[in-house]
Amino acid sequence: MNEDETHLALLTDRDDYEMDPPTFNLYGWKVGEPQAVPWVSHTSTPGFPAGMSVSDKSGLSFTDDGSIVLFGIKEIPEQKEKEAEAEEEAKAEEGAEAEEGAEAEEEEEEEEKAEFELWHWNDPYTYPQQKRITERVKNETYESVYHLESGKFVQLADEDLPAVSLSDDGRVAFGQTDKPYTKRISYDSAYYDVYVVDPLTGARTLVVQESYFRASLSPNAKYVYWFGTDRHWHVYDIAAKTTANISYDLPVDVWQRNADRPQPRRGYGIAGWTDDDASLLVNDEFDIWEVRPDGSQPRNITEGYGRAGNLSFRYISLDLEEETINPSEWMLLRTTNTETMAQGIYRDRIRGSRQPQELYMADYSYSFPTKAEDADAILLTRQSFYEFPDLWLTDPNFKQFKKLSDVGAQREAFIWGRAELARYYNADGVELKGILIKPENFDPEKKYPMLVYIYEKLTSGLHRFRNPSPGTSINASYYVSNGYIIWQPDINYGTGHPGPDALNCVVPSVEAIIDMGFVDPERVGLQGHSWGGYQGAYMITQTDIFAAVESGAPVSNMTSAYGGIRWSSGLVRQMQYEHTQSRLGRTLWNGGMMRYIENSPVFFADRITTPVLILHNDQDGAVPWYQGIEFIMALRRLGKVAFMFNYNGEEHGLRRRPNQKDFTIRMQQFFDHYLKGKPAPEWMINGIQAWDVEK
């Protein structure tokens, strides 16, 4: 029903229920009338596309004022034979077969049909990706509208522009499509053509072509806005049909300067729009700027306080139904100290020149606050490595805090640990940070074994509580409770040399921690999974600083992985190597071949002296598990100490708890043997043969 409850819209197959499958039409009922009447029918509505019908696979809704109904249309599926006709044909065939008698028995069995896949070089989507989206394609519906007053049907979306949405007031429709660029997704990225669509006529206006980033419609549907590859925000005025670069005159960058992947830099996002789409609030790294839709009158509403104090301000709303920001009211700002990782809440107004006011700030990580609907009470959690994220209640000014739950009391029975920031310089002299975790009963006079856990940049997780649990990687709480030091260094990357970049950060960071005097340099291990697993596999071809390494789901050969498939999505891995996490920045052929070889552990496996534990499962949908096979086979051929676990049927990370528990125990046995000198378990000495495994 519409909001005023004057009309009811419904889908029904009453006109074609004998079809198999039946087709649907849109009916409407005005409250008080004797019956519903057809609004849109594929057989009688003017302008309705041939071969299509109203879809029962899409939503059905009204605009806010109730003047327009939104629904979908789709192709009419191929009709199946009616059951009665099928029975008659079957009887006729039986009679014919009876007359033929012996001749029928002598007919050869029908030859089995071939089963195959055709991988066409020019398919928009790769065949594995096609299989992933088959159901979506079969059930694809195209947004359409019915205008109650005029009785007019208008199709808004179609095969070329399949995703279109209508503004809440029904004045404008907005759509974007990657259809012209689907093949590029395999090796580059998704690109979009963005359109504004007239709901009265279906006419389309191209707003931006081949945009690297998605666009959005402003809350009051006056503007379309997006971040461009020129590293600026752009706003399209729908009424005036003009586009403005609204961040060009800002004295600071609004793009992510610290991003280190060979792809267009993203923006820091927007805080939102003010009432009536009057202005846009744009984030820089620290502060928030108010800018008019034409780019005029830019103003730093946080007065530069964030940049001056290394404070990152991000707007949060306690009103879940809020669409725009009232410039006269207080804004709550979720705040992070980018140097210490302390978090808290400040408040500020868009209007005025006062600096943001601190409400609270502490060395914890806080969840987004949630306000009670009918009370001045706010619920949130706080946590640190030492403190479980229990529930806390506070007032709207965040002055009085009351602890509501005490789940963390379970922790008190165990030796825990304390996490702190430590700083180091990489091989290029760049200062970086890391998380250093010491046991709760830490003795600075002792020499501890140390485990290094790596991925990319990890220090944002300084105040995160780690519940002790089995899994795919080491559990910091468990290991530190059992006498290990844990070190998690940030890694800085350039383009083309991810392996050496990791080496140039991790090794100096380990040396910096060893120099503190409480780590035994002969008992340092390393663990990483996926990207971390790759980096660990690469580094042990270049250094013997580690006594043992666990490498989970590693890419060992970038030349073979480059053309592989991410089976979980069907996407080709080429994009990852050219533009995203692998950071090689080139194809395998245009002068990039040596980059792929030089960064591949398998080509330098003969240099490895470190015992390696590998985890790579046969249903890994992200990294083809043949990468693990290539690595273990190289190490086996070279006579290197190496073990590889494949938990049958498991994916990129272990999901079944029995497997998580089993591998967690075996990984600890591996590290305890090489870093603590404990006896090697039987599986490390003699292996586990296939004929000894119970099924």
Tokens of 80: 């199946």
Q: Which of 355, 351, 224, 218 is nearest to 290 (CA)?
A: 351
Q: Is the peptide bond before 21 cis (omega within 30 degrees of 0)?
A: yes
pLDDT recorded at residue 352: 85
Q: Residue 390 pLDDT more than 90?
A: yes
Q: Residue 85 pLDDT more than 50?
A: yes
Q: How confident is the model at residue 99 (pLDDT cuts 50, 70, 90)?
A: low
* 97 occurs within a structural domain: no
Q: Which of 315, 371, 322 is nearest to 345 (CA)?
A: 315
Output the average pLDDT for the chain. Answer: 93
Q: What is the pTM of this model?
A: 0.90
Over the stretch 281-299, which tens digit does the pLDDT of each residue have? 999 999 999 999 999 999 9
Among 407, 438, 465, residue at a domain's last position: 407
- Quote the CA–CA distance of 80 and 680 in Å, as a whole number: 65
Q: How confident is the model at residue 676 (pLDDT cuts 50, 70, 90)?
A: very high
* 642 occurs within a structural domain: yes
Number of domains within the chain = 3
CB-based contact 505:470 (threshold 8 Å): no
Q: How confident is the model at residue 100 (pLDDT cuts 50, 70, 90)?
A: low
- The alpha-carbon radius of gyration of the chain (Å, integer) is 31
Residues 422 and 300 in one domain: no
* 112 occurs within a structural domain: no
To the nearest 10 degrees (0 to 180), the angle between helices 498-514 and 531-539 is 80
Residues 227 and 344 in one domain: yes
- Quote the CA–CA distance of 247 and 239 in Å, as a whole number: 21
Cα 364 off chain centre by? 25
Residues 445 and 403 in one domain: no
Residues 255 and 128 in one domain: no
CB-based contact 192:200 (threshold 8 Å): no
Q: How many CB atoms lie within 10 A of CB 469?
A: 12
Q: How confident is the model at residue 235 (pLDDT cuts 50, 70, 90)?
A: very high
* 84 occurs within a structural domain: no
Q: Residue 639 pLDDT more than 70?
A: yes
- Per cent of the chain over pLDDT 70 is 96
Q: Residue 95 pLDDT more than 90?
A: no
Residues 362 and 474 in one domain: no
Over the stretch 167-187, which tens digit does the pLDDT of each residue have? 999 999 999 999 999 999 889
Q: How many CB atoms lie within 10 A of CB 363?
A: 15
pLDDT recorded at residue 17: 84
For residue 538, the domain's CATH number is 3.40.50.1820
Over the stretch 28-74, which tens digit does the pLDDT of each residue have? 999 999 999 999 999 999 999 999 999 998 899 999 999 999 999 99
Q: What is the mean pLDDT of residues 353-382?
A: 95
- Quote the CA–CA distance of 681 and 687 in Å, as a whole number: 10
* 685 occurs within a structural domain: no
Q: Which of 290, 280, 279, 298 is nearest to 227 (CA)?
A: 280
pLDDT recorded at residue 84: 46
Residues 244 and 124 in one domain: no
Q: Which residues of 50-87 are buried (b: 16+ CB within 10 A; e: fewer)?
A: eebbbbbebeeebbeebbbbbbbbbeeeeeeeeeeeee
Mention every residue, 6+ apart, whose C-beta is less than 8 A from residue 16: 22, 23, 24, 25, 53
pLDDT recorded at residue 241: 96
Cα 360 off chain centre by? 31
Q: How confident is the model at residue 109 (pLDDT cuts 50, 70, 90)?
A: low
Q: How confident is the model at residue 102 (pLDDT cuts 50, 70, 90)?
A: very low
- Quote the CA–CA distance of 236 and 223 in Å, as a whole number: 5
* 142 occurs within a structural domain: yes
Among 380, 407, 434, residue at a domain's last position: 407
* 695 occurs within a structural domain: no
Q: How confident is the model at residue 200 (pLDDT cuts 50, 70, 90)?
A: very high
348-352, 432-436, 609-613, 629-633: least confident range: 348-352
Over the stretch 564-596, which tens digit does the pLDDT of each residue have? 999 998 999 999 999 999 999 999 998 899 999
Q: How confident is the model at residue 19 (pLDDT cuts 50, 70, 90)?
A: confident
Q: How confident is the model at residue 104 (pLDDT cuts 50, 70, 90)?
A: very low
For residue 355, the domain's CATH number is 2.140.10.30
86-100, 123-137, 265-279, 316-330: least confident range: 86-100
* 89 occurs within a structural domain: no
Residues 66 and 168 in one domain: yes
Q: In what order do the strands lie in the sheet with 37-40?
A: 7-12, 25-30, 37-40
3-12, 75-84, 391-400, 470-479: least confident range: 75-84
pLDDT recorded at residue 590: 86
Residues 393 and 431 in one domain: no
Q: Where are the alpha helices (DSSP H) in 33-150?
A: 83-100, 102-106, 127-132, 134-138
pLDDT recorded at residue 79: 76
Q: What is the mean pLDDT of residues 400-420?
A: 95
Q: Which of helix, strand or coil describes residue 25? A: strand
Residues 361 and 398 in one domain: yes
pLDDT recorded at residue 682: 96
Among 172, 202, 232, residue at a domain's last position: 202
CB-based contact 531:458 (threshold 8 Å): no
Mention every residue, 6+ apart, whose C-beta is less than 8 A from residue 421: 340, 341, 433, 434, 435, 436, 459, 462
Taking CA atoms, 91 is separated from 85, 102, 103, 106, 169, in Å, by: 10, 19, 19, 21, 59
Q: What is the span of the domain harbouring residue 330?
A: 182-194+203-407
Q: What is the mean pLDDT of residues 394-403?
A: 95
Residues 235 and 260 in one domain: yes
Residues 590 and 490 in one domain: yes
Q: In what order do the strands lie in the sheet with 173-177?
A: 164-166, 173-177, 192-197, 204-211
Residues 240 and 160 in one domain: no
Q: Which of 371, 202, 364, 353 is nearest to 290 (CA)?
A: 353
Q: Residue 93 pLDDT more than 70?
A: no
